[in-house]
Amino acid sequence: MPAPDLLLAVDQGTGSTKAMLVDPTGAVVAEASVAVGQAHPRPGWVEQDGEEIWASVRGSVAACVAPEHAGRVAGVALSVQRETVLLWDRVTGTPVAPALSWQDQRTGDRADQLERAGHADVVRARTGLPLDPMFSALKAQWLLDAHDADRARTGSGQWCVGTLDAWLLARLAGPASAEVVTEVGCASRTQLLDIGTTAWDPQLLDLFGVPAAALPRVVGSTGPFAPVADLAPLPDGTPVLAVMADSHAALFAHAGWRPGLVKATYGTGSSVMALGPRASSASGVCATVAWRCGDETALALEANIRSTGRTLTWLADLLDVDVDVLFTEAAATPDSDGVTLVPAFGGLGAPWWDRDAVPVLSGLSLGTRRPQLARAALESIALQVDDAVTAFAEVTGPLAELAGDGGMTRSTALMQLQADVTGLPVRVGRTANLSALGVAHLAGLGLGWWTWSELEDGLGAPEPAAYLPGADDQRSSRRTTWARE
């Protein structure tokens, strides 16, 4: 039988699960995707159904891997959406309640309470993250208060609480698997992990009321993980080789360990990330574990922006047009004629972290038309990313290049604007789904399919051309108006 010559990468994201087969040249030879829904039972609440997520993993794999390819799969690589929390029964793997999405804001009041009680500094010092409902700890506490108020089941370890990597790994391994594990980069997003020691922090577990017995064991990004037991058409025993948080995997796909590289993922919101040392809390930049390979733990700086793509879809809904119309009009409109949009939907994330901020639309005139609004929305994306990049540069020193990924990188107008606003060359990833590719790259390193330096060289594929910063005579006035609003 020929040696296995394919890797199966699965990216479990907020809106869909994508599966891809990657060969030893790094080429994607098959892809499939299954949509995943969200529920909004109350304003600010965002839930997902664990069983639907699991069905989407199975469905995307079954659609991607033809039966004749199944025996050629050397291993599985998994990237997952971050911060989303699930509570499940350890033995059966059955979710006890819907997962609380990273977008869920129901714990905002509790975050305020803890802040007022003076806990923000210790949380930030241990975890690198500000007190905010986006991170898992407050959501885990909410789930436990609602379903295990006396902590009988979680305290005894009968129920587990964790991020989706831990639950999916448990499901992949099947009921016979002995132990529940979580990948360190995913664990660092829970706000329960001390990122200095990469161990659960007893004081934080106490603060958030999460029993240690309910938490998975933390392992590095290449495991060890149990092999798959139930993922047709793969044979049982196919190894799981690598697991990463999605944004971290995208940074890996850009070979983000190269000095001076910062990446921005353009999705519903955006994650701007670069490897680097921990920043002071004043910078508004978070610290997080990017990945751990062997004994080496890489730390990253991150800025999460709540609303980027979502701003365009909001405007498209409001004006009752297709979002592509807005992209086209924004591209054809050189400036917004003084219109500024600050899309603080659900407050502002990094580097401002202001939950009370409200959206602002200013500079309107009787001459304002849809193209100016579209342009202002597009500019709001580039300017928010620029705020993050500026905050990073204060920590890391000058940056050399911005690597973009995500659906909106298809907009050449946005990418050129981003280069102009940041003053950095912007290079777009070869494929939109970089998270799956990034975790496949990590898995392939372990198999000896390629080396770190071959990954830096893009595995021999021609490098995509960069958008170079042009002379932007409005750069400073645009930034001044933006900062004022």
Q: Which residues bind ligand G3P (CB under 6 A)?
A: 13-14, 81-83, 102, 246-247, 267-268
Comparing CB distances to ligand G3P, the nearer of 82 and 292 is 82
Q: Which residues of 90-115 are buried (b: 16+ CB within 10 A; e: fewer)?
A: beebebbbbbbbbbbbbbbebbeebb
Is 256 exposed, middle or buried (CB count within 10 Å of its CB: 0-12, 13-18, 19+)?
A: buried
Minimal distance, residue 485 CB to ligand G3P, in Å: 26
Minimal distance, residue 395 CB to ligand G3P, in Å: 20
Minimal distance, residue 184 CB to ligand G3P, in Å: 15
Comparing CB distances to ligand G3P, the nearer of 263 and 375 is 263
Minimal distance, residue 81 CB to ligand G3P, in Å: 4
d(CA 86, CA 95): 7
* DSSP assigned state of 354: B
H-helix or E-strand containing 162?
Answer: strand 159-163
Minimal distance, residue 265 CB to ligand G3P, in Å: 7
Comparing CB distances to ligand G3P, the nearer of 82 and 263 is 82
Comparing CB distances to ligand G3P, the nearer of 247 and 411 is 247
Three-state SS at 305: strand
Minimal distance, residue 191 CB to ligand G3P, in Å: 12
* DSSP assigned state of 126: H
Comparing CB distances to ligand G3P, the nearer of 59 and 267 is 267
Minimal distance, residue 453 CB to ligand G3P, in Å: 28
Three-state SS at 101: coil
d(CA 75, CA 227): 9
Q: Are the CB atoms for 343 and 485 separated by under 8 Å?
A: no
Comparing CB distances to ligand G3P, the nearer of 79 and 411 is 79
Minimal distance, residue 7 CB to ligand G3P, in Å: 20
Minimal distance, residue 121 CB to ligand G3P, in Å: 23
Comparing CB distances to ligand G3P, the nearer of 306 and 478 is 306
Q: Which residues 6+ apart lie within 8 Å of 63 measured at CB?
A: 19, 32, 34
Comparing CB distances to ligand G3P, the nearer of 14 and 409 is 14
Comparing CB distances to ligand G3P, the nearer of 262 and 331 is 262
Furthest CA-CA distance within the chain: 72
Residue 79's alpha-carbon distances to 76, 177, 185, 285, in angstroms, are: 10, 20, 11, 23
The three-point CA angle 453-459-460 to 5° equals 110
d(CA 290, CA 251): 8
Residue 439's alpha-carbon distances to 86, 110, 239, 460, in angstroms, are: 22, 35, 14, 18
